[in-house]
Amino acid sequence: MENEDITPSIEKKLIETQVLKDIVLESSSDCLKILDTEGRLQFMNFNGMCTMEIDDFSQIKHQYWWNLWGDENKTLVKNAVNKALTGEVTEFSAYCETAKGTPKWWHVTITPVALEKGDVYQLLSISKDITELKLSEAKIKNQNIILEDKVRYRTEELLQKNIELEKRNKELAMFNHIASHDLQEPLRKINFFSKLILENSDLDDKANIYLNRILDANQRMRNLIESLQKFSSAKDINQVLEDCNLNELINYTSEYCKEYHDSVNFKIEFHDLPTIKGPKVIITQLIINLIENAIKYRKENVPLQIKISSETLSQEQINFPTNPSIKTFYKIKIADNGIGFDNQYRYQIFEPFKKLHSKDEYAGTGMGLAICKTIMENINGWIEAESDIQEGSNFYLYFPKGN
């Protein structure tokens, strides 16, 4: 009597358990399969059949599962099944086309299902479609190969350019030595014979003035050559730095430019400019280049006005690359009321041989501002400009304070 009461209850629980198991298996979006202890297919969920593009499971039921993986993966799958039959969860990833030939990559987990005493009586295989992941990995790998090729090419290019640069630097050093020596000799002769004329000839005042100008220009050229030699050969920039009072340098520059441009009506306004660190002769040449640039590009029939002012900036207030050890800069503004230029060319004007006007309009080599840029960079400074056509130009020089 008791057995008759118990049996329906057990059967009911078994049915409920099977229903629950079916619900769990069918609810998974992955391809779920049940294998017997021989490795043969016993069940595949509906989503798995869809993913594998299998229309009729009965056609593959009871087949050895590894036979569906192709010859290249047959051994891999068989070994994984045998390992799982020992009671160990196993995993692997492999390529396998669907029943209709769609290429797929799968990550497979095989879980042994055992009785209470530990005997494995079936295997649960979960195959997750990782095709998109594999394609992404392949794409990334391909991009990495392309990137590595580009880096390799760029590295080889940079090495070649470094070799060329080293060669050019050696040639430049030789040229600097030869040119300096060859230039000094005629300058010494000009100086010698000019002095002879002054000392041994009865010249009028005007001729004396002109000869003295020749001697001054000659001495300035000799000083410039010597300074360039020191500047180009110095391994440490601090070896050639000296105090440069900008008020004195601009006074000198103003007088110098008036001598060579006596027909030009121009005025330079400045006051309370700082003393900066730099090679004095070269900083003087820098200022001369900028003043002469303003003179060259002045407006016709309009007196040229050049205004020079200064302010002190902290490193946080600047927006150009600099040595982090330099905390403060002097910002020198040189503003003129000349013809200006299109502001889109504010960077190109500092490139060597870059000219915004034809040779017929304005003479020159296009090297003046490029030289200014090189000078500023070599003393850990910076130069930039802004302008509008017919609205004048502003040049900004940034000198390290206490370099």
Q: Tell whether 261 and 114 lie within a shared domain.
A: no
Residue 241 lies in a domain: yes
Mean pLDDT of the chain: 84
389 and 252 inside one domain: yes
Region 281-293: mean pLDDT is: 89
pLDDT value for 127: 93
Q: What is the CA radius of gyration of the chain?
A: 43
CB atoms within 10 A of CB 82: 11
Whether the predicted pLDDT of 239 surpasses 90: no
Q: Is 174 a domain residue?
A: no
Judged against a pLDDT cut of 90, whether residue 357 lies above it is answered with no
Find tokens 């350019």 and name the residue.
161
In a domain, 184, yes or no: no
d(CA 16, CA 20): 6
In a domain, 17, yes or no: yes
The number of angstroms, rounded, from the C-alpha of 106 to the middle of its chain's C-alpha atoms is 40
Domain co-membership, 396 together with 247: yes
Strand partners, 174: none
CATH of residue 293: 3.30.565.10
Give me the phi and psi of 228, to 5 degrees please.
-65, -40
Read off the pLDDT of each residue in 178-207 and give the average, rounded to a whole number. 78
Residues 6+ apart with CB under 8 A from 74: 66, 67
Q: What is the pLDDT of residues 37-48, one digit of tens each?
A: 999 999 999 988
Last residue of a domain, one of 97, 113, 130: 130
**Rounded mean pLDDT, 298-304:** 92
Query: Rounded mean pLDDT of 19-23?
Result: 58
Q: What is the pLDDT of residue 171?
A: 67
- CB-hemisphere CA count at 13 Å for 207? 9
Mean pLDDT of 244-249: 95
Domain boundary among 130, 162, 184: 130
Q: Name the domain count of the chain.
A: 2
**Given a cut of 50, is residue 3 above it in pLDDT?**
no
Domain boundary among 96, 130, 164: 130
SS3 readout for the chain? CHHHHHHHHHHHHHHHHHHHHHHHHHHCCCEEEEECCCCEEEEECHHHHHHHCCCCHHHCCCCEHHHHHCHHHHHHHHHHHHHHCCCCCEEEEEECCCCCCCCCEEEEEEEEEECCCCCEEEEEEEEEECHHHHHHHHHHHHHHHHHHHHHHHHHHHHHHHHHHHHHHHHHHHHHHHHHHHHHHHHHHHHHHHHHHHHHHCCCCHHHHHHHHHHHHHHHHHHHHHHHHHHHHHCCCHHHHCEEEEHHHHHHHHHHHHHHHCCCCCEEEEECCCCEEEECHHHHHHHHHHHHHHHHHCCCCCCCEEEEEEEEEEEHHHCCCCCCCCCCEEEEEEEEECCCCCCHHHCCHHHCCCCCCCCCCCCCCCCCHHHHHHHHHHHCCCEEEEEECCCCCEEEEEEEECCC
Q: What does the longest C-alpha to C-alpha distance in the chain come to?
A: 155
Residue 62 domain flag: yes
Which residue segment(s) compose the domain that 57 sits in?
6-130
pLDDT given at position 238: 56
End-to-end CA distance of the chain: 107
Percent of the chain with pLDDT over 70: 83
Specify the pLDDT at position 362.
65
State the CATH number of the domain containing residue 40: 3.30.450.20
State residue 230's pLDDT score. Answer: 58
Distance CA 295, CA 253 (A): 12
Same domain, 121 and 266: no
Average pLDDT over residues 142-160: 88
**246, part of any domain:** yes
Is pLDDT at 18 greater than 60 in this prediction?
no
pLDDT, position 207: 84
Spatial CA neighbour of 351 closest among 385, 392, 388, 317: 385
